[in-house]
Structure 1
Amino acid sequence: MAKTARREPTPNESIVLFNEVDGLCPLCNKSLMRSKNKAKVKIFEAAHIYPLNPTNEEIELLKNEERLTLDVNDLDNFIALCRECHKVFDHPRTVEEYRLLYNIKKNIISRNMTKEKFHEYPMEYEIREVLLKLIGETNETNLTKLQLEAHKLDDKANESLTNFTKRKIRNDITDYYLFIKEEFKQLDKEHPKSFAKIASQVRSFFTQIDSIEESQEKIYEIVTEWLSKKTQNTSKTACEIITSFFVQNCEVFDVNS
């Protein structure tokens, strides 16, 4: 069988691979750049997740494993590794390490797909006013805790939502739901129907992401990041609280039948 020629990623593709792993080797967490003479020097390699020209032993080893793409030179089959980890990963190849990199890259691909949706779904600028209120004006004396939940979080959450995140969402709903609801009511007085538009935008974005991503944990993170990017808000905590509000208000996560 003729060997497949190796395709080296272009400079732009190398930047993509570097950014996908946040500049750190996903196996050892070593920085993939180093400084030399006041310049940044690349010290990573583009590793094939599924081998470029697998040996008979590797074909047998990976015969039951899923692949990200049938084209071994597709960027979806590359991942940035430091040189040492690349060598260890290739020789000898193991199922465990293959599955590890496969899952890392699969999550990266999924994340990239969802981020591509960010620009398609606008967000009313007025929501910044609510976020700024959360950051600057909330304290224990002006919060009224929610005693009864219209829809219990347990009715919406599935096993993909960690207990830690579920507890955080529940606490955010209890502490902030009524405060945020009142702020949206005030916002509607200044900008009529603002809340209806914002809620519709959140629901539309959730519906789109829900069709791509199965994990509620990741959906929660994606909606939070989308809110942060769209409102240019630097407070992740405030955006998490707003996401929790929309979980309670039924724009995010569906009540299980």
Structure 2
Amino acid sequence: MHRDASWEKEQAMQFNEIFTVLRKYLSDGHGVPSFFREFIQMITDVPESDWDTPKDPSGKCKDNTLKSYASRGLSNKFARSIVYKLDTYNLEDRLHNLPSQATDGLVEDINKFDSSIHINNYPEKIGGHVCENIRDRAGLVPQGRIDKNAALEESVKLKNNYGESLLRESQSYCSFPGCAKPLYKESKGQTQWVYEVVLIDKNKNNDISNLLAACPDCHATYLLDNDSKLMKRLINIKNVLSTATLGDLAVGDIKIEQNLHAALEKIKNLNIKELEEAEFNSEKIEDKIDPEKEPALYMLNRNLVTSYYLTVREILKNYDKRGDLDYEELQEQMRGLYRKLKKKNLSQIEIFERITNKIQTSTRHENIICQIIVTYFVQNCEVFDAISK
């Protein structure tokens, strides 16, 4: 994992300066566009299976655009698209394994821009410069080393107090959208936890309801980021994760099945108006929620469907047979509600939260009960469309 040496940076390096030196020693003679794509793959956590696909950030760019980035620096939009995917482990590994002659030349060239770089620290220092530059281009707010150290000290305290609960809540994966890195490493049969604790709303107290477990890279980036939209997404993610965890811990107390019976009996009162016809598709959760983009929502749906899908289906079938509700009409209501929310260009997790809240308003039942009902309709194809391949 990248050790964020950028906090110890002595002087600024521009993206084009870094790129030019690295291309000289790492490109094997490839042209700028080809090496640029390879370089982005080295500094992000995009898996090899997704290279040269729509999930590869540089794969969407034309050659002339990449040449412009190489000579003038990244655009704000492109930097934002990769800033929460940064992981310079592969770049640092490549640098560590350069032949000694190439290493000497690279250090000499890069030392012209940062005199603190030497033979014993060049991979980490270069990785730090890359991350700093991209965060800068993404418009993140610069902070000093003291702030960084204070934040890490605070994270240690929060891990001691809440770490176990936050890891269980996130199922040991980074909670940030588009990340989902494991928060642990396995070595010689031992598990080493590698994570930090993020304060979601930086203007509020460090209560557990305002905390998420995250990988060190997302933590370091979010310290600089004041994007209110991302903060709202993290709040939605926290709501989904914490409610699901509460449901796991309190199954015996709130009597899930009994409450499902009562809630589903009232669900016919949703009264969704102006419904539009929606095409029925047979895709399931794994085809409709990308675990990399929305890891929290994916895990919640997977777990609740595994536990309660058959129960919900049996209850609904019985109510339909008895004439207590019209199952087909209910399906159309859920499809219509999803389509109306989709038109507002909301994220999947925002749509999930809105439908959950709608059901909760109608049934007056606990949030976890309403989430279970929504996950049933996700699996049953009324909510969410198939992921574009």
Q: Same fold (TM over 0.5)?
A: no
The alignment's TM-score, normalised by the length of structure 1, stands at 0.43
Structure of higher RCO (CA pairs closer than 8 Å, 6+ residues apart): 1
Rg larger for: 2
